[in-house]
Each structure stands twice: as C-alpha cells, then as structure tokens.
Amino acid sequence: MNLAGEFVSTAGQVGMLAQVTYYVLLVTALAFFAAFVYFLTARSRVVAEHRSAMVTHAIICGVAGLSYFKIQDNFGHFLQVLAGAPQENRLALINQAYVAIGQTRYMDWTVTTPLLLLAAVLTLRVRTRQVLGPVMVMLLADVFMIVTGFIGDNQVAADGTILTGPRLLWGTISTVGYLIVVYILFTQFGKYQRAAHREESTAFQVARLATITTWGVYPLGYLVPAFFANVDDNWLNVAFSVGDMLNKVGVGVVAFWAAATVYEKRHPSQDNAAAREEPQQA
C-alpha cells in the first residue's frame, strides 16, 4: 500500500531537520489555537478595563493559528515532493519553500503586528482616543514596515536566485518603519506607564522590549538567504516559529498575568484556602 500521499514523509526520507521543522510548525499552530481559546475564556478573570486587551490577544493568536495551519499543511505536502527529489536538488527546494512560506508569514504579520502594538497600549488602560495620534502613526509605520519587507523578501529571480541589491534596498526602506515604531513606543507612553499599576507597567515593558529584541531578530531571516545560499533555511523556519510564539503567546500570557493580578487585588480569591489565610498572616 502506498501511503506517501496520506502521511508526512519520515526523517529518513527528507532529513531530520525538515522533519523537526514540520513538527515545530504544527505545534506552533496548535499553541496559537490553544492560546486563542484561553485568552477568550480568561476574560472573566480580568477587570473590565483589560478585557479589550485580552480579546485583542485572542484575535492575534486566532489569526496566527490559521496562518500556521496553512503553513504546516503546505509544508507537509512539500515534504512529499522533497522525499522524491534527488539529493543534489534538495537544498534548492528547501530554500524555495522557505520563500513561499515567508509570503504567508508576511500576510499574518500585516494583521497581527499592529494588533500586538495596540494590545500593548491597551494594557496601560489608556483610552485610544487619548493617544489616537501616536497610535495611528505607530500602526501605519508598522504596516509600512511589513509591506515593504514583503516586497523585499520576494526579490527572487525565476530560477530561485535572490536579488541581493533590491532585497537590501527594500530592507532598508522597511527599517524606517521599524524605527518609527520603536521611537513612539519608547517616547509617547511614559506618563501612562508611570500612572499604571506595577503589573501593567511590567507587561507594557515586556511588550516593548519584545519589539526591540525578538522583532529585531527577524531581519536575520531576511538577510541570511541573501548572503548564505548554502544554509538550510529550515533553521530559519524553526527560529521564526519560536519567535512568533514568544511574541504572540508569550506577551499575551504576561498581559493576562498583569490583568489577573489587578483583578485579584480588587476581588480576593475565595476558592483557595491559602489565599483566604494570606491577609490574616499579613
């Protein structure tokens, strides 16, 4: 019985890294779906001021889950092609698949990264009309960054060769949007952060630091294929998947922790004996 079209190829057929990549892509999709459900159902454990932020994090994870479900499905079919390809052609096929997967990722980021920035602001309990100007500039700069990055990422010739010059040009243009986002995040919300609860301020700080650390790593996936053609780009697929989980699920969990802590301070828990005893000990 030939099951090649029904099941994912084995590591012996496609290589361990390709198999691990598929594993990570599918686990990432499942993690996003799980986070989507969790953030939606966790709204009852946060104060009213934080519910919009939690719904926003749920939407982020829902969109990302759909994107990664599509990515892992496409990658599973790609593995069947890879299994039947001659060894000398496999690296080129892997790197072409990475470019194709990148297109879906950029479409995901066009929706999810502006929502991540908006969720960070909502964590501070700031009414959006109070900061409409900076928020709009920040969101437009973010979309500009993603769209121009998408154009640069697709500077590929028909034979799969990356056009380094145009790619670097569009990468530089995209960086302008990124710098605007960072500038606004670090200069426009200081007074709101100081007026927030300590936990809210911490959650905002984590979201802000994620923007300049994990977001700053993504350009490596943009530049490595241009300068290192012999690198197996599945490493980048794994790195992007982990980075997306940290940015979307991880930051969302921190935001929920902050919101739940504020809720607990207003409504002390009545279902845990240790929690009921704690005020007496204090």
Tens-digit pLDDT profile for residues 38-85: 999 988 788 888 899 999 999 999 999 999 999 999 998 888 888 888
- The average pLDDT across 136-156 equals 93
The tokens for 115 are 């929502």
Residue 2 has pLDDT above 60, yes or no: no
Q: What pLDDT sits at residue 276?
A: 54
Residue 107 has pLDDT above 90, yes or no: yes
Q: How many CB atoms lie within 10 A of CB 165?
A: 10
Q: What pLDDT sits at residue 44?
A: 79
Residue 246 has pLDDT above 80, yes or no: yes
Q: Per-residue confidence at 1, pLDDT binned at 50, 70, 90?
A: very low
Beta strands in the chain (DSSP E): none
Q: Per-residue confidence at 119, pLDDT binned at 50, 70, 90?
A: very high
Q: Per-residue confidence at 269, pLDDT binned at 50, 70, 90?
A: low
- The average pLDDT across 238-257 equals 92
Distance CA 210, CA 47 (A): 25
Residues 6 or more apart whose Cβ sits within 8 Å of residue 49: 125
Q: What pLDDT sits at residue 282?
A: 43
- The average pLDDT across 274-281 equals 53
pLDDT more than 90, % of the chain? 45
Q: What pLDDT sits at residue 261?
A: 87
Handedness of CA 65, 68, 70, 72 (dihedral sign): negative
Q: What pLDDT sits at residue 191?
A: 86
Q: CA 50: distance to chain centroid?
A: 21
Q: Per-residue confidence at 272, pLDDT binned at 50, 70, 90?
A: low
Q: What pLDDT sits at residue 143?
A: 97
Distance CA 6, CA 10 (A): 12
Q: What is the mean pLDDT of the chain?
A: 86
Q: What pLDDT sits at residue 6?
A: 62
pLDDT more than 70, % of the chain? 91
- Kindly report each contact of residues 69-72 with a partner whose C-beta sits within 8 Å and lies 24 or more positions away, as own/partner: 69/29, 69/33, 70/104, 71/25, 71/29, 71/101, 71/104, 71/105, 72/22, 72/25, 72/26, 72/28, 72/29
Q: What pLDDT sits at residue 225?
A: 77
- The average pLDDT across 202-227 equals 83
Q: What pLDDT sits at residue 137?
A: 95
Q: What pLDDT sits at residue 203?
A: 92
pLDDT, greater one: 23 or 13: 23
Q: How many CB atoms lie within 10 A of CB 86?
A: 7
Residues 6 or more apart whose Cβ sits within 8 Å of residue 209: none
